[in-house]
């Protein structure tokens, strides 16, 4: 099987997580961010992640991939319930988090941006959505304080370092990719439970953090 991704993409991280958690081998293929032709030829539109199954067929949509792989061997791992407070927390931070993350992704040495054209494709598209990256970087200090404060609230919601609610659930697949993305931002104050959860899940899922690229 092959999984087509972007390194920065939190939806791709969701799909990658299940392979690591279940210790199922997967070939990772990073697409260039400006490559529209390849994903369109697979699933009809430009999107990732895309799973190429053993039979050669293609499956898009991160959580569809997660559930397909989780149930593939008759021993599903996602057996826990969700906590509405986690969803509420994610909605709250989603109002501003892209202003911290997208400008830094655009500068990072990620494989999907290995050409200037690919990097410009991403920057132009995302700046049209959220505004000038340079302006957001200039105002990072306030946003770093804001996310640090919100992470203190999240700290109280984390039950166990190996599963946010004590048992693996969809909440882990929604929360951990964001915490992984935040490792590209310098200066964030991480409470102890959040840090233990973030680092433990990185080991369990076998998905790299972005700390070496932090700015």
Retrieve residue 177's tokens. 């990719």
Q: Quickly state the pLDDT bin for 20 (edges 50, 70, 90).
A: very high
Helices (H) and strands (E) in the chain, counts: 10, 4
Maximum separation of any 2 CA atoms in the chain, in Å: 50
27-30 and 58-60 beta bridge pairing: unpaired
Distances (CA, A) of 130 to 55, 98, 101: 40, 8, 11
Distances (CA, A) of 191 to 97, 145, 156, 157: 18, 13, 10, 12
Retrieve residue 146's tokens. 């804001």
Q: Quickly state the pLDDT bin for 74 (edges 50, 70, 90).
A: confident
H or E element, residue 19: helix 10-21
Helices within 22-162 (DSSP H only): 37-43, 62-70, 84-94, 97-107, 116-130, 133-138, 140-155
- What structural domains and CATH numbers belong to the chain? 2-70 (3.40.30.10), 89-213 (1.20.1050.10)
Q: List pLDDT tens digits, range 114-151.
A: 999 999 999 999 999 999 999 999 999 999 999 999 99
Predicted TM-score of the model (pTM) = 0.95
**pLDDT at residue 169 above 90?**
yes
The pLDDT assigned to 206 comes to 96
Retrieve residue 24's tokens. 């199922």
């Amino acid at each position: 099987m092959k999984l087509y991704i972007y390194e920065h993409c939190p939806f791709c991280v969701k799909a990658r997580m299940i392979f690591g958690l279940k210790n199922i081998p997967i070939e990772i293929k990073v697409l260039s961010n400006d490559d529209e032709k390849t994903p369109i030829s697979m699933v009809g539109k430009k999107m990732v992640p895309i799973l190429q199954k053993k039979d050669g067929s293609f499956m898009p949509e991160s959580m569809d991939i997660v559930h397909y792989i989780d149930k593939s061997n008759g021993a599903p791992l996602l057996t826990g319930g969700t906590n509405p407070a986690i969803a509420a927390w994610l909605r709250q931070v989603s109002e501003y988090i892209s202003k911290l993350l997208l400008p830094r992704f655009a500068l990072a040495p990620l494989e999907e941006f290995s050409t200037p054209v690919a990097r410009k494709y991403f920057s132009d598209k995302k700046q049209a959505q959220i505004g000038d990256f340079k302006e957001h970087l200039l105002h990072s200090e306030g946003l770093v304080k804001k996310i640090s404060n919100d992470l203190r609230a999240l700290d109280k919601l984390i039950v166990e370092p190996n599963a946010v609610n004590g048992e693996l659930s969809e909440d882990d697949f929604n929360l951990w990719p964001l915490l992984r993305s935040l490792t590209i931002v310098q200066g964030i104050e991480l409470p102890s439970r959040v840090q233990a959860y973030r680092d433990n899940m990185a080991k369990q899922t076998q998905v790299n953090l972005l700390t070496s690229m932090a700015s």
